[in-house]
């Protein structure tokens, strides 16, 4: 396999190497001193805020290729390896809006594009009168843009597809953006947004089939308006990140339209860096309600090496961080007790 660290290329994204963390907007700062340490807090399971992420050479290259080609990035790998949090981390690195859609077995492709409230339109039609015609005769009022529409064209999404020249009154659609960069900042490479489509393998086959054109050509049709929303070239498209736990095989047509990244397990040294960055970003509160005792680098390193030895290197990031949090919050130091905690955080059997 090619040594990716030896590949030289001009990056379109900011440098993404090793642990990349964003402490400048970390949660719960001390109110009287913005530079003070964060208050200790309770561990919160899986964090999806993208404040701490470990980038390998493979991840960095795939992200740059996805942006360079204008293709979505499909991220596969074992559970707990950082597939979902990659998208939010990229939005922070790029400095652009972040949108998210978590797929389910009931998801339809149209959920990403827009929804049309037929029931409300029928109810309004029964009201009758000039006022109803003025306020609700405009079909745009019943359109709720989805996250892909917002990522492609937030202006028309806010207007619900209404033309700028229209004089009909309307309510602006609420923006479902989950994170926005600091005011006045310019996104890297002109990327307007990052959109996460999470756990796409939960959906029915027609979900991916109906997204071939929207994701392949960055355009969608609003049937009720008889118009198309598309990316005005040469505007840079949004970066779409799709995750899959591989519960089902994705069809070849969707894979052909994407850059595919497979995430593996981290090495003990990589887990060490992640553990140290996580501890610095999220100070923990002990079971007694006090700040957890600080641990040195050697403690995090020994823990990573021991867990990887017990599982032949197959330790997910989530498992390692759960062990770190449990041992620190519960104040467990004895080696024999550590083994008992390990057994509680493993996500897989010993098979």
Beta bridge partners of 212: none
Q: Taking 90 as the threshold, does the pLDDT of residue 33 lie above it?
A: no
| pLDDT for the residue 167 | 65
Task: Look up residue 315 and give its two tokens.
Answer: 């330790």
Is position 277 within any domain?
A: yes
The boundaries of the domain holding residue 329 are: 268-345
| pLDDT for the residue 117 | 84
Is position 311 within any domain?
A: yes
pLDDT, tens digit (0-9, with 9 covering 90-100), for 50-108:
899 999 999 999 999 999 999 999 999 988 899 999 999 999 999 999 999 999 999 99
Is position 283 within any domain?
A: yes
* Cα–Cα distance for residue pair 288/244, rounded to 1 Å: 39
Strand segments, DSSP code E, in the chain are 18-21, 52-55, 73-77, 97-102, 114-116, 143-145, 193-198, 219-222, 227-230, 239-244, 259-263
Is position 282 within any domain?
A: yes
| pLDDT for the residue 34 | 40
Domain total in the chain: 1
Is position 82 within any domain?
A: no
Is position 144 within any domain?
A: no
Segment 285-301 shows an average pLDDT of 87
- For residues 159 and 225, the answer to whether their CB atoms sit within 8 Å is no
Is position 1 within any domain?
A: no
Is position 109 within any domain?
A: no
Cα dihedral value 312, 318, 320, 323, nearest 10: -130
């Amino acid at each position: 396999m090619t040594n990716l660290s030896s590949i030289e290329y001009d990056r379109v994204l900011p440098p993404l190497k090793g642990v990349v963390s964003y402490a400048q907007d970390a949660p719960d700062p001390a109110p009287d001193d913005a530079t003070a340490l964060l208050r200790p807090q309770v561990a919160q399971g899986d964090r999806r805020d993208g404040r701490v992420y470990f980038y390998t050479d493979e991840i960095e290259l795939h992200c740059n290729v996805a942006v360079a080609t204008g293709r979505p990035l499909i991220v596969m790998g074992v559970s707990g390896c950082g597939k979902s949090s990659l998208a939010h981390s990229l939005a922070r690195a790029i400095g652009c809006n972040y949108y998210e859609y978590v797929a389910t077995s009931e998801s339809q492709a149209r959920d990403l594009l827009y929804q049309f409230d037929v029931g409300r339109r029928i109810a309004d039609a029964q009201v009758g009168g000039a006022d109803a015609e003025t306020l609700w005769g405009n079909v745009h009022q019943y359109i709720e843009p989805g996250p892909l529409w917002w990522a492609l064209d937030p202006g028309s999404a806010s207007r619900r597809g209404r033309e700028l020249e229209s004089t009909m009154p309307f309510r602006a659609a609420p923006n479902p953006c989950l994170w926005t960069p600091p005011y006045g900042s310019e996104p890297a490479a002109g990327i307007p947004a990052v959109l996460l489509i999470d756990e796409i393998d939960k959906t029915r086959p027609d979900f991916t089939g109906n997204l071939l054109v929207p994701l392949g050509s960055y355009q969608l049709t609003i049937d009720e308006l008889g118009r198309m929303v598309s990316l005005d070239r040469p505007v840079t498209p949004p970066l779409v990140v799709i995750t899959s736990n591989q519960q089902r095989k994705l069809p070849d047509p969707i894979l052909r339209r994407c850059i595919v990244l497979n995430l593996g397990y981290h090495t003990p040294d990589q887990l060490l860096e992640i553990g140290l960055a996580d501890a610095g970003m999220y100070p923990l509160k002990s079971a007694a309600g006090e700040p957890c005792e600080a641990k040195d680098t050697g403690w995090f390193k020994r823990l990573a090496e021991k867990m990887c030895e017990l599982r032949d290197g197959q330790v997910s990031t989530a498992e390692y961080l759960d062990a770190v949090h449990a041992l620190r919050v519960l104040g467990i130091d004895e080696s024999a007790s550590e083994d008992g905690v390990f057994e509680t955080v493993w996500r897989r059997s010993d098979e």
